[in-house]
Structure 1
Amino acid sequence: MKKLALLCIIICCAMHNGSAQTTAVNLTDIKFTVTEAPEWSALLKRDKGWFGGDGIYTIPLNGMEGRQANPNDKVLFIFSDSMIGQIKDGAMQPGYKMIHNAVAILDGNKPLGNKIKFYWDTDAKGQAESLFIPKTPQTDSVDYYWLGDGFVNENNHATYIFGYRVRNVSSGAFGFREVGNTLIKIPAGSKPPFRNLTQMDTHLYLLDEKADIGSFGAGVYVNTKGAGAPKPDGYIYTYGVRGMAKNLMVARVLPADFENMRKWTFWDGANWVNDIARAANITDGVSNELSVSALPDGRYALVFQHGGMSTTVGMRIGASPVGPFGPIIKLWDCKPDLIEKTFVVYNAKAHPSLSAPGELIISYNINSVEFIKDLNVHPNLYRPRFIRVKFE
């Protein structure tokens, strides 16, 4: 149980629709309690089929991004790298396979094991295969997808998911590199394995002279009345992250124009502009996956893993969907999860469709730098864990 009550009111500029309005906004003072959410963590602790993954985002299929799903709603879970196979007697069984992405659909809003079903594709030999495989004009044959955030567009009821084209490389610290940004479009009513989806390359990818990468899709905030946003302006806000400093950028577009890259605009710190190269850094120290959510008091919660990969689940309070954002508020220390020195924690984010009024259910991922070695000892390590933050 933790509480924070930092009593400091600051004067800042709340940026709405590209204009600056001077207003008193408290970006540092918030009261909350935080506990584990073991029922949600247990939902993804599985021994057969999908038994591990990261990259978790949740998309309410009714498009109501701004509130908890109802018992008769469906929520789409999307994962990046995922383990498919079986765990028996505390050990992975032969025949397991890692694929690059998968999904699950939860019926309702409760973490009930009999209400969630996982989906992936199969190859010609009947082996597990990624559900989404890059097939765009800019795709190389060796590229694969990790998934960004997504949402259901109220204009055409299609589900859009950001796809990061990733390629294994021999240089660099991690052995992989993002090489492009795409949109995956799933028509309304389509069911896994989504045979009628379409894919399109975007210009939402940046590479500077220092080889620092920037890409959009780390988080989506749908600020429309139809999505249940409390202060709707009609726009979809998409967040990007760039560089080792994990700088945050933001773009916006109307739902009807989402596929039209010429209609996208980027916040340059003062105005909305069409040139992605002028996108401003609106804060730093975030993670490559994150969330922006409306708080009950009218402010906004930016939730992330501090610095991308650390033991701190952090939050910055924002005056608007584009900031300004206050200092980092520590929500949770993940150190107790690191039972091996090789374990790492990353990519925290909130899930409003899983969250009751006045709270945020937040996930973070656990992985290992000695992946298969540690999985052989701890076969359930590679899965999201959840916490519950209640605002007072």
Structure 2
Amino acid sequence: MKQTLFQAYLYSTLYLIVFCTGCQQTTEQEAAKTQVIAESSPEWSNLLLNKKGWIGADGIYCVPLNGVERPGEAQQTKTLFWFSDTIIGDIEDDSLQQGWEMVHNSIAYLTGGDPDKEKMDFFWAKDDDGKARSVFEPHTPEAQVNEYYWLGDGFFNHRLDSTIYIFAYRIRNLPEGAFPFEDVGVNLIAIPKGSQPPFNEQRQMDTPLFHIGKKGKSVFGINVLANTTGAGAPQPDGYIYVYGIRGTNKELLVARVEEELFEDFQAWTYWDGQSWNSSIDESAAITDRISNEMSVSFMEDGRVIAAFQVDTNSPSIAIQVAKTPIGPFFPFKKVYETPEIYEDIDFYTYNAKAHPHLSTPGELLISYNVNAFDFENKLYQHPNHCRPRFIRVKY
């Protein structure tokens, strides 16, 4: 009898140990599924590592040419990339050769969703003498001589004949300063269906999306979120959400317009914290400390996730989650520190953003820019430094 009781006790104890161990393993496995893990993505960073022709740029946005922004969809289409300040030249034995040129923007096409150099083609414009020129140059009624474009985000409009729209900031150079330039307006570029580079059929229009008011300077176009069926949004409402930035505290603002009314700026409304308002001056901040380029994209469950560089040019990349495109946002989480700032005392990093359709479900492919304060000297010392780098953030 004693042996039987002892055996029963032993078996029950072993069962509890095995059961609890199994529970612990299950708990650890479930916890691993929800952990936020950020790591560099050298295969995507190396996609932009070239020795001839296009050798660097310090701005990057992209759009799928079928307009489907849902993660995991890039294999089904081509992707149009656009870059801001771009370096054209040759590098031999890690030395930048004489005769290099700089233009204010360029583009590239990637076929499929893999970072394959053989499937990436770069383009820039040329003048009659064969010298490099920007693909997009200001020519609207409000544009002035010597202004140029810094490019913002864009999207594929399913309701307006598959037009691709790109926001473009009009920039003027300043005589001095750590950042010797200023933005003076926001234009909109419309690329019609089927147009090929250098996009001679493009249209450009001035917009009211650059505003200096009672709360400071507001600039819209830093991110576009298409909450539409065509874009593959999880809970589409038919609106295009366009995000902006305001003031030194880097406040995030949001406007929206129905997809088919995108060019009708009288139809745009701005979130004032309580409702949609026709006055841009009443725009309310939905979070802050973002970067001048950033992203807000959908998660699979319908929430949105923002990705940005904290305070624009710190080494910290952060993500931030909200239930809806207008917030409220939970506090941001710093997920990655950019190592390039330690490669040279003049290097800095900035303007992180996600590229949702190039991502896979449950993760974000995020790019960030690398540049140097002593730009030209560092370009000769590190000719490939000025180009976007990529990380993957699993959540």
Calculate the TM-score normalised by the size of structure 2. 0.89
What is the rounded CA distance, in whole Å, between the counterparts of 1:387 and 1:278 in structure 2? 36
State the one-letter code of the partner of 1:204: L
State the one-letter code of the partner of 1:215: V
What's the counterpart of residue 42 of structure 2? Answer: 38
Q: Is the 8 A contact 1:67 1:228 kept in 2?
A: no
What is the rounded CA distance, in whole Å, between the counterparts of 1:172 and 1:249 in structure 2? 27
- Is 1:186 aligned with 2:191? yes
Q: Is the 8 A contact 2:225 2:242 kept in 1?
A: yes
Q: Is the 8 A contact 1:75 1:353 kept in 2?
A: no
> CA deviation digits over 1:352-381, x for unaligned, max 9?
121112211000100000011111111110
Distance 1:194 1:59, change over 3 A: same
What is the rounded CA distance, in whole Å, between the counterparts of 2:154 and 2:137 in structure 1? 16
Q: Out of 286-295 and 65-74, give the one that drifted further.
A: 65-74
What is the rounded CA distance, in whole Å, between the counterparts of 1:385 and 1:185 in structure 2? 28
What is the rounded CA distance, in whole Å, between the counterparts of 1:214 and 1:83 in structure 2? 30
What's the counterpart of residue 175 of structure 2? Answer: 170
- Is 1:232 aligned with 2:228? no
State the one-letter code of the partner of 1:245: N
Same amino acid, percent of matched pairs: 48
Q: 2:208 is matched with which residue: 193, 203, 207?
A: 203
What's the counterpart of residue 247 of structure 1? Answer: 251
Q: Is the 8 A contact 2:64 2:74 kept in 1?
A: no
Deviation at 1:170, TM superposition (A): 2.5
> CA deviation digits over 1:103-140, x for unaligned, max 9?
10000100000101001101222100000000000000
Distance 1:171 1:94, change over 3 A: closer
Gaps of 5+ in 1: 1-29
What's the counterpart of residue 219 of structure 2? Answer: 215
- Is 1:256 aligned with 2:229? no
> CA deviation digits over 1:289-313, x for unaligned, max 9?
0001112333211100000110000
Distance 1:104 1:348, change over 3 A: same
Q: 2:292 is matched with which residue: 270, 288, 291?
A: 288
Q: Out of 332-341 and 158-167, give the one that drifted further.
A: 332-341
Deviation at 1:206, TM superposition (A): 1.4
Q: How does 1:17-36 map to 2 (within 5 A)?
A: 31-36=35-40
Deviation at 1:231, TM superposition (A): 1.3
Gaps of 5+ in 2: 1-33
Bigger Rg, which one = 2
Deviation at 1:94, TM superposition (A): 0.7
Calculate the TM-score normalised by the size of structure 1. 0.90
Q: Which has the higher helix share?
A: 2
Q: Is the 8 A contact 1:85 1:92 kept in 2?
A: yes
Q: Is the 8 A contact 2:340 2:370 kept in 1?
A: no
**Tell me, what secondary structure is at the counterpart of 2:75?**
coil
Q: Is the 8 A contact 1:293 1:301 kept in 2?
A: yes
Q: Is the 8 A contact 2:257 2:269 kept in 1?
A: yes
Q: CA RMSD in A?
A: 1.5
Q: Is the 8 A contact 1:361 1:388 kept in 2?
A: yes
